[in-house]
Copies of this chain bind each other. A is one copy, B any other.
């Protein structure tokens, strides 16, 4: 490996002078700079970041810890985060937690050891608090994306869960639905709690009393919702919900799949809508009515917040950015059938 010592010898200067040239120090004579630069090019020298980090204390590595890159929502978050990181000269390390706090904890440990300058984190629940505190203790900046751990304050960027839930619920109500089920994620997630609350409030504002049988808690992963859906549709005639609001794209798709198995037509017999588009490339065969959250922007802006913190260009107080989402009405929602 070519080092500054090799360059120094060949250019007949001291290593320190080479270091100064590399770092564009202004107190270098033009002639020596040219001489050194020539040798650098000649030997194809690339500075060793490990050695630099040892004194500078920064690695220019940041991590993005998300549940699953396969979820199109997080794919877009990742792309946004990567674009901003590249722009500011940082490298992005990717980690999938699968909503598993243990895996998340393992990751955080590895990342601290790898010396990342900061972390963009989608926490997997209350259980994340303990390892997030480790980041605080080590003074490693981090930014919450999509969800937060209220006990451990930090900058955050997320969708407007209240506005979005209201929008989707009101869309269904406006179509005439009054028996609406909410299939939500685990209540250990802050965004889940907000969606739950907004859902209840919106119903009540419309004079509909929330029905506990319609409030279902599951998780945000790819999975089989057969039982849950079967139970819902097997409710007494007149009790069966006419619409389902899925709290994320995986739940939305799994709901459709379960309904198909049960041979229940969408939207005729059951309207379905969800948070986040399940499609990366939605425009060729759009079907689901969704509330599309600005995933790319969340990643992009989140990375910006993070790097500002890293470079201490951020105010002391934690910042909270909430982005609105867009309701996209397609064909999975319609009026309820007569008799319901």
Contact = CB atoms under 8 A, between A and B. Distances in A.
Contact of A75 (B53, B75, B86, B138): B75
Interface stretch (A120-128, A229-237, A273-281): A273-281
A186 interface: no
B71 A79 contact: no
A48 interface: yes
Interface string A61-100: 1000000111110011011001100100001111110000
Nearest to A112: B46
A105 to B, nearest CB: 13
A291 to B, nearest CB: 17
A325 to B, nearest CB: 19
Interface residues of A, number: 58
Given A250-B281, A253-B281, A284-B278, A82 B94 contact: yes
Contact of A69 (B1, B82, B283, B288): B82
Contacts of A96: 79, 82-83, 86
A50 B50 contact: yes
B75 A70 contact: yes
